């Protein structure tokens, strides 16, 4: 009986890897298509945070309530775009100029201080991936981002983003954040409240513990100044 040559084994392994890659991407694509009409019940980021909370308190739960786009304050939409992705309506998921500027900042500082990620990229990570930093994860994030831009309208991408991002310990989405910090609904958020919530996005749990941060106050002022020119879908 003839044994398969080493070359055939390599070919079979490559085919198996390619098939697994295609299967994984198809899985992501199917979920993205589902999210075009249905809200996520839980994201990868939510699952991780809940596991961390339950290590300290087995009964811990998350605050998360989906609300449609129309029930989210226009102030918050403008504030988040002004703070996180001013070119949201213009790009195809990647702000190449922003990425280049972030790289320059990182090189000057000698460490990672800026990421240049768009709202689409942040959403891809939050929905499906871990917060760990690696080239493999960034590559998968890029693929998912491209799929979302192809399969979802900008309005839906922003709607999902505003509903699932973290805004404090166990606090996810605009409705939960509005009620947690302002005892109001997401639709009732003022310009000032929206700017403060947008300023918290890069490090929500830290700013939740230190709401009087001088840096946070400075960011709020900057975001308020940018909000009138922010374009929303």
Number of domains within the chain: 2
User: 182 and 122 in one domain?
Assistant: yes
Tokens 């009087």, residue? 212
Averaged over 44-70, what is the pLDDT?
96
User: 66 and 12 in one domain?
Assistant: no
User: 90 and 3 in one domain?
Assistant: no
User: 56 and 100 in one domain?
Assistant: yes
User: 206 and 112 in one domain?
Assistant: yes
pLDDT of 115 reads 61
User: 207 and 164 in one domain?
Assistant: yes
pLDDT tens sequence across 125-154? 999 997 777 888 889 999 999 999 999 999
pLDDT of 136 reads 86
User: 22 and 78 in one domain?
Assistant: no
User: 114 and 198 in one domain?
Assistant: yes
User: 122 and 11 in one domain?
Assistant: no
Residue 118's CB is within 10 A of a number of other CB atoms, namely 24
Confidence band for 2, pLDDT divided at 50, 70 and 90: very low
Of 78, 80, 120, the residue nearest 99 (C-alpha): 120
Residue 194 above 90 pLDDT?
Answer: yes
User: 222 and 113 in one domain?
Assistant: yes
CA distance 183 to 203: 21
User: 17 and 88 in one domain?
Assistant: no
How far are the Cα atoms of 17, 20, 21, 27, 144 from residue 14, in angstroms, in the given order?
5, 10, 10, 20, 22
User: 99 and 13 in one domain?
Assistant: no
Q: What's the domain range around 132?
A: 41-229
pLDDT of 114 reads 52
pLDDT of 131 reads 77
**CATH classification at residue 111:** 1.10.3810.10
For the chain, give the mean pLDDT: 91
Residue 41 above 60 pLDDT?
Answer: yes
Which residue did the predictor score with more confidence, 18 or 226?
A: 226
pLDDT tens sequence across 208-231? 998 889 999 999 999 999 999 999
């Amino acid at each position: 009986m003839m044994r398969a040559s080493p070359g055939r084994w390599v070919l079979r392994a490559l085919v198996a890897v390619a098939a697994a890659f295609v299967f994984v991407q198809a899985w992501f694509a199917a979920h993205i298509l589902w999210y075009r009409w249905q809200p996520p019940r839980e994201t990868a980021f939510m699952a991780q945070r809940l596991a961390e909370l339950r290590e300290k308190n087995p009964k811990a739960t998350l605050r998360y309530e989906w609300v449609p786009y129309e029930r989210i304050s226009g102030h918050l939409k403008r504030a988040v775009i002004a703070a996180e992705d001013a070119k949201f309506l213009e790009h195809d998921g990647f702000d190449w100029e922003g990425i280049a500027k972030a790289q320059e900042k990182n090189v000057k500082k000698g460490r990672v201080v800026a990421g240049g990620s768009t709202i689409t990229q942040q959403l891809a990570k939050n929905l499906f991936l871990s917060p760990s930093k690696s080239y493999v994860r960034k590559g998968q994030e890029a693929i998912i981002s491209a799929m979302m831009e192809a399969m979802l309208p900008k309005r839906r991408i922003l709607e999902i983003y505003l509903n699932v991002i973290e805004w404090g310990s166990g606090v996810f989405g605009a409705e939960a954040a509005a009620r947690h910090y302002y005892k109001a609904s997401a639709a009732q958020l003022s310009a000032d409240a929206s700017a403060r919530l947008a300023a918290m996005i890069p490090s929500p749990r830290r700013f939740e513990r230190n709401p009087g941060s001088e840096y946070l106050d400075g960011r709020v002022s900057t975001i308020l100044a940018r909000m009138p020119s922010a374009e929303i879908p």
